[in-house]
Amino acid sequence: MSRGARETLMHEVVTLARAKMSRRAIARTLGISRNTVRALLAEHEAKRVEPSSALPTEVKRAPRASKLDAFKPRVAELLKRFNDITAQRVYETLRDEGFDGGYTAVKRYVRTQRPPARPTPSLRTPEYDPGEMAESDWSPYEVKFTHAPPAIVQGFSYVLVHSRRKYYAFYESNDLFALMDGHVRAFQRFGGCAATCKYDSQKPVVLRWEGQQAIYNPRFLAFATHYDFRPFAVRRGHPDDKPRVERSFWELERSFFNGREFRDFQDLCAQLARWHDHILDRRRLKKRTALERFALEKPLLTPLPRHPYDTARVVYRVCSIDGFVAWRGNRYAVPYDYVTDILVVRITTRELFVYAADLSCIARHRAAPASTSTPATFTRARVDGAPWTSTRCATPSRAWARARPSSCGR
């Protein structure tokens, strides 16, 4: 019924009621229900005692069925289990479980169940040209695995400031070798690197400060020279000087860690790779995804050299009398011919190589996690059972082999 028709009907009902007609007679005369007559008269009496307003009253509609109704118990479970989970993560979880509705419905429902926090004003951030600036940093996270003991992992982040495209990786430590390996992986994913990268005063980058002058780590300077970028250490105690990478860890915590469980470290890295491809790079900012913004910046990145920098750690170890070399609490087998010899050990993030004095590879193992209680002992030169052979091993450069043992081993 339109507004004009309702007002006309109410006027007729009130007029007949003033003429001492009963509700039954009014209903018969106007051809409406007695309940309608009763409701109109009650509404009229209520309007006479309330303030009059020309504004239309809000119409209360009956609730309609929603695609989200069947998933509301699941939403309540997620909110109870993860008290800081975002609406985006709730939507992603429901979508994986068969929800075919939209994100807006999930966002509005989550807001009704948990009011949003009051926003705080953000600081101004400097803008840079494409390919001009990047930022990198570390953040530790305590992860409780479902099929492995809990561990503290180090989260690496590299952010291109102009396009906001990000790369993350997890390592067991945040030393120089992990830092360089994280950069190499980020450079390979982006197909280049920015001309300058900001860092804090972490030891792998800055050895010390002399006044306001940062004294950089020579090994990291060699790495930066190989990729033709300039490291820039921000002021001590001023993390806001590199806001993009600081904010990137907030995104990692809210979007990746939030609402997820991990079997072990390998599952953590596998889920991170899927999150990179399907969530992070496709997230929109100002109506454009990170990949769309990156397409404009990629041609201006510094091109990569033909061969990547060797980020491996090199140490010297004495082969024990039973034919093993020790590294980080584990023992790795070498041919018995090299017992009591001083051997060169080259360790990457995945493998461990053992070289003789003439730099011929004599053993190759999959690198095991550091052990403090129960050391692992590898009795074969390769974990797949392949025999010892130097043709299967990478040939190292002789530059790092000429280094003094005291400066390589720990």
Tokens for 19, please give them.
């003429």
Are residues 190 and 73 part of one domain? no
Mean pLDDT computed over 265-272: 95
Are residues 103 and 8 part of one domain? no
Are residues 327 and 286 part of one domain? no
Query: What does each C-alpha distance from 409 to 126, 196, 202, 227 come to in angstroms?
Result: 42, 31, 21, 26
Q: Work out the pLDDT band at 410, boundaries 50, 70, 90.
A: very low
Amino acid letter at 217?
N
Are residues 196 and 90 part of one domain? no
- Tell me, yes or no, whether 54 lies in a domain: no
Q: Which of 295, 257, 239 is nearest to 170 (CA)?
A: 257
d(C-alpha 271, C-alpha 68), whole Å: 26
- Tell me, yes or no, whether 62 lies in a domain: no
Mean pLDDT computed over 253-270: 94
Residue 395: pLDDT above 60? no
Least-confidence region, from 51-60, 213-222, 327-336, 373-382: 373-382
Mean pLDDT computed over 270-286: 92
pLDDT tens string 57-78: 777 777 788 899 999 999 999 9
Helix (H, G, I), strand (E, B) or coil at 91: helix
Give the DSSP per-residue string, 3-28. HHHHHHHHHHHHHHHHTT--HHHHHH
Residue scoring higher pLDDT (304 or 397): 304
d(C-alpha 312, C-alpha 327), whole Å: 14
Estimate the crossing angle of helix 23-30 against helix 3-18, to 10 degrees: 140
- Tell me, yes or no, whether 307 lies in a domain: no
Q: What is the pLDDT of residue 286?
A: 83
Mean pLDDT computed over 242-267: 93
Q: Is 138 within 8 Å of 202 (Cβ atoms)?
A: yes
Are residues 175 and 287 part of one domain? yes
Domain end call among 265, 300, 335? 300
- Tell me, yes or no, whether 123 lies in a domain: no
**Cβ atoms within 10 A of the Cβ of 385, count?**
7
Residue 392: pLDDT above 70? no
Q: Work out the pLDDT band at 151, boundaries 50, 70, 90.
A: very high
d(C-alpha 101, C-alpha 338), whole Å: 66
Ranges of H-type helices in 97-145? 103-113
Tokens for 201, please give them.
């005063």
Estimate the crossing angle of helix 3-18 against helix 34-49, to 10 degrees: 90
Are residues 167 and 73 part of one domain? no
Are residues 146 and 104 part of one domain? no
Query: What does each C-alpha distance from 174 to 179, 338, 407 come to in angstroms?
Result: 6, 33, 19
Q: What is the pLDDT of residue 114?
A: 83
Are residues 275 and 347 part of one domain? no
Mean pLDDT computed over 253-276: 94
d(C-alpha 102, C-alpha 401), whole Å: 59
User: Number of folded domains in the chain?
Assistant: 4
Q: What is the pLDDT of residue 48?
A: 82
Q: Work out the pLDDT band at 403, boundaries 50, 70, 90.
A: very low
Q: What is the pLDDT of residue 404?
A: 35
- Tell me, yes or no, whether 109 lies in a domain: yes
Are residues 403 and 292 part of one domain? no
pLDDT tens string 370-381: 765 555 666 655
Phi/psi of residue 351, each to 5°? -135, 165
Q: What is the pLDDT of residue 400?
A: 44
CATH number at residue 232: 3.30.420.10
Domain end call among 300, 334, 361? 300
Tokens for 159, please give them.
């952010």
Are residues 238 and 94 part of one domain? no
Residue 396: pLDDT above 80? no
d(C-alpha 22, C-alpha 18), whole Å: 10
- Domain residues for the domain of 73 are 69-113
d(C-alpha 91, C-alpha 97), whole Å: 10
- Tell me, yes or no, whether 20 lies in a domain: yes
Mean pLDDT computed over 16-28: 90
Q: What is the pLDDT of residue 177?
A: 93
Mean pLDDT computed over 111-137: 83
Amino acid letter at 317?
R
pLDDT tens string 350-363: 899 999 989 999 99
- Tell me, yes or no, whether 262 lies in a domain: yes
Q: Is 157 within 8 Å of 137 (Cβ atoms)?
A: yes
Residue scoring higher pLDDT (59 or 174): 174
pLDDT tens string 280-296: 999 888 889 999 999 99
**Cβ atoms within 10 A of the Cβ of 170, count?**
17
d(C-alpha 407, C-alpha 410), whole Å: 8
Q: Work out the pLDDT band at 194, boundaries 50, 70, 90.
A: very high
Domain end call among 243, 265, 300? 300
d(C-alpha 297, C-alpha 275), whole Å: 22
Give the DSSP per-residue string, 319-381. PPTTSEEEETTEEEE--GGGTT-EEEEEE-SSEEEEE-TT--EEEEEEPPPP-SSS--EE-SS
- Tell me, yes or no, whether 340 lies in a domain: yes
Are residues 280 and 139 part of one domain? yes
Structure letter (DSSP) for residue 214: E
Are residues 376 and 337 part of one domain? yes
